[in-house]
């Protein structure tokens, strides 16, 4: 059964009253905007995804285009069967889509959590550091992203985290998180790469960094206890479960057995075993790009053996910080954290597209399909905020084509089969769906600010640079980029329990082909 609309919002307020009473009023004030932001994402999905047993003729709502992101300033209303809805969970519950009960609950959590995120971020003020080092500027950029995924209705869904947990762990609240250290005999672990001495104790045991939520909720059931003391102070980044140690050094990706947006955030055994070999392969291949794109290398990974197999809930990965790609006076910013330039946004986006398309398309032609969404792809900016080069991090979800890589003399022997795929449509979906359907679409929407003529100019700049760079592609890959519908993840359909598990895809009008004025979907009550 579905809970009453708004019940979770009320329970969030009650928790806030106990742990941070000064945020109760800002949280309540943020609720209407949070409902509108989540409802806008849901409405986009309802318009462009094929959901089972849903007749779109039942629905009426504002004009929406497939690349529209962000939050409406005013309260949003969608009509279903003649009834108006401003709460996304109530709308989806009323539609009766098979297998949607879990998604309805996640929409409730996304709405309440987003209001909490906005209230907390507003109370703490902008994360503008007095320290102007590349690391401090990167952290400020990471923690400036308050609304989460620009298109997923579950953009801030964090079931399993209490209000106190979110305030203590989520990046938009700017906390310092004490990572717990789990001491383990070397025989109980698999270590790949150069595990640092700072994460070993005097007796030679490995000290595995564990997220404090994981330590509290999971370890007791396994009969495990973390080391006493404050642990390792660290700052949460965009992904929440990846943190930058307060005293510098490699970023730490932790396992977190919670579902956020579409996935449970653990670390598979394959990711641990592949980490060093995959990093070396990508370092080799991207080294042929004359510095256009560099990767944040995997330095070490460790997993714990449970019943003879690596546990995805007990693992950690150490990764170079993207700040290392910045020179004097430069800074590194995830694409998700970019803000519209003050002047000539189309020219600025053209310069980014001119930087972005050649290496990403060349890598695809060689057999490397990056999941280049706004969290994984970062840009190095010069002191005048002009884009200079790209950085890619988090290698777990890329796809490699053994056949294409063999053509440039690169072998994939020894890598896990999960990341290997010679299917051209699968490779194209991975790259085009993330960089065009995610990163660039969100930037066009943010830079255009709802002005459709400005958005058309932005898309023209992106399209012209794509066409300029696409000659490196095979004819099939080129046609898919410049002439065919765009395949993106079906974000809502993936969360239904009545269908297949794993990634599912939907086709959108390709903004590189069809001018924005022709690709909207509009219905009004």
Q: Residues 6 or more apart from 311 whose CB is under 8 A from it?
A: 269, 303, 304, 305
Cβ atoms of residues 147 and 114 within 8 Å = yes
Task: Strand 83-85: give its sheet, edge to edge.
Answer: 83-85, 78-80, 59-64, 521-523
Pick 324-484's CATH classification: 2.60.40.790, 1.10.3720.10, 2.60.15.10, 1.10.510.40.
1.10.510.40
pLDDT of 330-366, one tens digit each?
A: 999 999 999 999 999 999 999 999 999 999 999 999 9
Question: Dihedral of the CA atoms 144, 147, 150, 151 (nearest 10)?
Answer: 160
Place of tokens 């209303």: 77
pLDDT of 224-267, one tens digit each?
A: 999 888 899 999 999 999 999 999 999 999 999 887 777 777 89
In angstroms, rounded to a whole number, what is the distance separating the alpha carbons of residues 27 and 9?
A: 9
Place of tokens 């991975």: 430
In angstroms, rounded to a whole number, what is the distance separating the alpha carbons of residues 338 and 331?
A: 12
Cβ atoms of residues 506 and 50 within 8 Å = yes
pLDDT at 519 (0 to 100):
56
Quote the Cα angle for 168-224-304, to 5°. 95
Q: For 307, phi and psi rounded to 5 degrees?
A: 55, 40
pLDDT of 500-525, one tens digit each?
A: 777 899 999 999 996 554 455 544 33
**This prediction's pTM:** 0.95
In angstroms, rounded to a whole number, what is the distance separating the alpha carbons of residues 25 and 96?
A: 34
Distance of CA 413 to the CA centre of its chain: 29
Q: What are the residue ranges in the chain where pLDDT is below 50?
A: 1-3, 517-518, 522-525
**What does the domain layout of the chain look like in residue ranges?**
7-157, 169-286+296-320, 324-484
**Closest by alpha carbon to 243, among 233, 228, 229?**
233
């Amino acid at each position: 059964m579905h809970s009453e609309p708004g019940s979770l919002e009320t329970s969030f307020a009650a928790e806030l009253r106990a742990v941070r009473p000064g945020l109760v009023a800002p949280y309540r004030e943020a609720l209407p905007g949070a409902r509108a932001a989540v409802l806008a994402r849901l409405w986009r999905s309802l318009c462009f995804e094929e959901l089972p047993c849903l007749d779109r003729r039942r629905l009426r709502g504002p004009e929406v285009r497939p690349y529209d992101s962000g939050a409406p300033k005013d309260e949003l209303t969608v009509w279903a069967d003649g009834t108006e809805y401003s709460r996304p969970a109530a709308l989806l519950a009323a539609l009766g889509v098979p297998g949607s009960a879990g998604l309805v609950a996640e929409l409730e959590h996304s709405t309440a959590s987003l209001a909490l995120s906005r209230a907390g971020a507003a109370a703490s003020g902008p994360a503008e550091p007095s320290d102007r080092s590349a690391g401090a500027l990167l952290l400020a950029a990471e923690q400036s992203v308050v609304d989460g995924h620009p298109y997923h209705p579950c953009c801030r869904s964090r079931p399993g985290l209490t209000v106190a947990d979110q305030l203590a762990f989520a990046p938009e609240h700017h906390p310092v998180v004490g990572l717990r250290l789990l001491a383990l005999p070397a025989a109980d672990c698999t270590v790949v790469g150069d595990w640092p001495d700072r994460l070993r104790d005097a007796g030679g045991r490995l000290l595995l960094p564990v997220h404090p939520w994981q330590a509290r909720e999971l370890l007791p059931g396994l009969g495990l206890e973390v080391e006493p003391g404050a642990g390792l102070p660290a700052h949460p980044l965009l992904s929440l479960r990846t943190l930058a140690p307060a005293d510098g050094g490699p970023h730490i990706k932790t396992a977190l057995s919670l579902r956020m947006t579409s996935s449970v955030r653990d670390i598979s055994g394959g990711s641990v075993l592949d980490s060093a070999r995959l990093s070396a392969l990508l370092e080799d291949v991207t080294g042929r790009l004359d510095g256009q794109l560099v990767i944040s290398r995997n330095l070490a990974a460790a997993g714990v053996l449970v019943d003879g197999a690596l546990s995805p809930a007990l693992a950690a990965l150490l990764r170079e910080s993207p700040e290392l790609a910045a020179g004097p006076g430069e800074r590194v910013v995830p694409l998700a954290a970019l803000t519209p330039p003050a002047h000539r946004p189309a020219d600025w986006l053209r310069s980014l597209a001119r930087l972005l398309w050649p290496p990403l398309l060349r890598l695809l032609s060689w057999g490397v399909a990056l999941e280049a969404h706004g969290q994984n792809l970062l840009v190095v900016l010069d002191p005048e905020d002009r884009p200079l080069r790209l950085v890619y991090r988090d290698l777990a979800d890329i796809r490699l084509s053994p056949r294409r890589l063999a053509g440039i003399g690169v072998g994939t022997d020894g890598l896990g089969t999960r990341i290997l795929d010679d299917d051209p449509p699968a490779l194209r979906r991975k790259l085009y769906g993330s960089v065009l359907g995610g990163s660039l679409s969100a930037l066009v929407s943010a830079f255009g600010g709802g002005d459709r003529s400005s958005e058309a100019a932005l898309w023209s700049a992106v399209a012209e640079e794509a066409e300029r760079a696409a000659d490196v592609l095979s004819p099939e890959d080129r046609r898919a980029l410049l002439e065919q519908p765009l395949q993106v993840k079906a974000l809502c359909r993936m969360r239904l329990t009545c269908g297949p598990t794993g990634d599912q895809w939907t086709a959108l009008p390709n903004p590189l082909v069809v001018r924005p004025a022709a690709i909207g979907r509009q219905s009004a009550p």
